[in-house]
Amino acid sequence: MKYKYLILVLIPILMFLSSCIQNSFEEPPEVTIPVGEALTIGDLRQMYIDSILTGPYITYKFTNDYSVYAVVTMDDKSGNIYKSAFIQDNTGAVNLHMQASGGLYLGDSIRLNLNGCILGDYEGMLQIDSVHVEKNIRKIATHMFRTPKLLTIPQINTGLYQAQLIQLEDVQFIESDLGKTFADGENLLTENRTLEDCNGNQLIVRTSGYSSFASEQIPEGKGEIIGILSQHRDEWQLYIRKMDEVNMDGLRCGEYIAILEENFDNVVQGADIVLTDWTNFGSILWKGVNNGYDTMARVGGSGENTSWLITPEFSIEEHPNLKLSFITRAMNLNQSSLKVYISSDFTSGSNPEDATWTEFTNVIIASSANNTNSGDIDLSDYSGNVHIAFKYNCSATGSGSYFLDNVLVFTD
């Protein structure tokens, strides 16, 4: 009977003390990635040229430790690229083709050990293939964002910027792309869209149907865009990273907003020009031309004369990038001139001679009877509420006439 209680006490103790089931696990040791010799991306590009482009190999597989230090300029988080990333250092940029998606993020400063990776190209695009995000890469820092390189479309075609982060300004999507989306997000299809500058130079923007912005509308305006410059055979393609980097809400090439526009359509043939808020002042006055073919303003004669035609007042500050343009024609010029001025202290209807005027020097004024465009005169250096004056001057022995049309103050 004594044993009974002994057993009764011992058994539970034995039971609960012994445990052969593992409950906690030791962390595996850290895996270090050897450094080896350091290479720049420029070195890689040179290797590619030496051994693949002109050399005997189709691809080159690294079997030793080489380290490339670079910054991630594009990840596959947005879905625009898949199992892929772009890295860049001061010597250039290259595309990484990863074994699995995810794990590298924009702004990661990394050391890439090339051992096991394959250098090659895909349709002209330099690529490091078979990169494993854990086995080949160690992260050094985060949020090291690179500033994009400001380029023009013609510069792209030099081929010096493959895989780099670039920025284009004053570009727009071509007319036929407007109303479309970046890609077919519904059916997950990749689509090409075309960018152009105001000179008609074009660049493809390629977007995956899997990207988070595939179904976004193509912006209709002109502006700036940031992306990664990719190449497919002879074609250059821009990959957008995120919608924040597409800012194209300006006016398209050739479009403007008029602050002041006067085509002299309603002037009376031969009569002094009288227009609301305009000032017509001088020894001879500006007169209307309305002869069935043209409507314009005309000034001229012979002998010493000074004539002012002054626009209504407008504000420089209210509108960014204000510009002035107009058209002139000239006849029988002899010691006569037409000059264009700006003033911020003139009052409509007062004597222009009392105000301070600054002459525009880079204006093209007609010297013949052909319509002559003044060119776009930048007004953004001026300030305040201003008037523009067209001032005719003729010497006592001189003569000549000027015609003025399509006076336009605009922003684009």
- Binding positions for other proteins, rule: CB under 8 A: 4, 7-8, 11-12, 14-16, 19-23, 25-31, 77-79, 100-103, 105, 107-108, 133-135, 137-143, 212-213
Looking at beta carbons only, is 30 or 381 nearer to other proteins? 30
Q: What phi, psi does 10 have (nearest 5°)?
A: -70, -45
Is 250 within 8 Å of 256 (Cβ atoms)? no
Q: Classify residue 217 by its DSSP letter.
A: B
CB of 233 to other proteins, least distance (A): 24
Q: Which of 154, 145, 139, 53 is nearest to 104 (CA)?
A: 139
Looking at beta carbons only, is 15 or 396 nearer to other proteins? 15
Q: Which of 402, 297, 409 is nearest to 342 (CA)?
A: 409
CB of 1 to other proteins, least distance (A): 9
CB of 145 to other proteins, least distance (A): 11
For residue 28, CA distances in Å to 11, 23, 25 come to: 37, 16, 9
Per-state percent for the chain, helix, strand, coil, to nearest 5: 10, 45, 45
Looking at beta carbons only, is 31 or 58 nearer to other proteins? 31
CB of 71 to other proteins, least distance (A): 13
CB of 134 to other proteins, least distance (A): 5
CA–CA dist 182, 192 (Å, integer): 8
Tokens for 269, please give them. 């043939």
Is 121 within 8 Å of 95 (Cβ atoms)? no
Looking at beta carbons only, is 24 or 176 nearer to other proteins? 24
CB of 164 to other proteins, least distance (A): 24
Q: Which of 390, 278, 267 is nearest to 324 (CA)?
A: 390
Looking at beta carbons only, is 24 or 362 nearer to other proteins? 24
Looking at beta carbons only, is 106 or 408 nearer to other proteins? 106
CB of 8 to other proteins, least distance (A): 6
Looking at beta carbons only, is 213 or 286 nearer to other proteins? 213
CA–CA dist 158, 92 (Å, integer): 14
Looking at beta carbons only, is 103 or 221 nearer to other proteins? 103
Looking at beta carbons only, is 30 or 234 nearer to other proteins? 30
CA–CA dist 111, 71 (Å, integer): 9
Looking at beta carbons only, is 89 or 108 nearer to other proteins? 108
Q: Which of 118, 139, 138 is nearest to 129 (CA)?
A: 118
Looking at beta carbons only, is 20 or 396 nearer to other proteins? 20
CB of 24 to other proteins, least distance (A): 9
Q: How far apart are the first and last CA of the chain?
A: 107
Tokens for 36, please give them. 């080896």
CB of 110 to other proteins, least distance (A): 9
Cβ atoms within 10 Å of 191's Cβ, excluding its own:
18
CB of 94 to other proteins, least distance (A): 21
CA–CA dist 71, 139 (Å, integer): 10
Planar angle of CA 149, 151, 154, nearest 5 degrees = 150
Is 316 within 8 Å of 387 (Cβ atoms)? no
CB of 391 to other proteins, least distance (A): 56
Is 302 within 8 Å of 332 (Cβ atoms)? no
Tokens for 259, please give them. 């602050």
